[in-house]
Amino acid sequence: MAQERYERNLELITQQPRIIHQAALALPEGAWLRIHTSGDYHTKKYIQTWTAALHKRPDIHAWSYTRSWRIKKLRDPLEELRHLPNMQLFASTDPTINDTPPTDWRIAYINGDPRAQGYTCPEQTGNKADCKDCSYCILGKKGDVTFRRH
């Protein structure tokens, strides 16, 4: 049942850009927004919708991890999203991905990836209470991060 609701909600958001815009406009000033705790960017239109919504709300600090950097047709819209000053977008990778992330992207590794480097997520190790307490992924402009497999 939860999977069905998730898929229905994803379909609604993908097909209804106004939902994203309304949600972004409703956030309080200075809000922190993690885009996708599960899921990814699947279409150019969907990425452009997030880009437009965040462009309208430069006070919001948004961040996201994506494996869609590997999809050629999505790379340009992801670059536009990534270059917004209020957006941190990481190329997510793990040992099953042989492609090399773009050299100028921040990378989110899964622990166990032999390429893993950078800052180990302190929320996952219990050294920070949550993402906001750490803020490395959200406010940092450089540096990679490694997560435990979850």
Comparing 21 with 114, which gets the higher pLDDT?
114
- pLDDT on residue 17: 75
* pLDDT confidence bin for 13, thresholds 50/70/90: low
Q: How is 70-125 classified by DSSP, letter by letter?
A: G-HHHHHHHHHHHTSTTEEEEEEE-TT--SPPPTTSEEEEETT-TT--SEE-HHHH
- pLDDT on residue 144: 95
- Report, as an integer, the average pLDDT of 6-25: 73
Q: Quick check: 89 pLDDT over 90?
A: yes
Q: Could you tell me the residue range of the domain that residue 12 belongs to?
A: 2-147
* Average pLDDT of the chain to the nearest whole number: 89
**Which pTM was predicted?**
0.86
Tens of pLDDT, residues 22-75: 888 889 999 999 998 877 998 899 999 999 999 999 999 999 999 999 999 999
Length of the chain: 150
Give the rounded percent of residues in the chain with a pLDDT score beyond 70: 93
- Report, as an integer, the average pLDDT of 121-144: 92
With CA atoms as reference, report the closest residue to 141 among 96, 104, 100: 104
Q: Quick check: 21 pLDDT over 90?
A: no
Q: Quick check: 87 pLDDT over 90?
A: yes
Q: How many domains does the chain have?
A: 1
Strand-pair category, 61-66 with 87-93: parallel
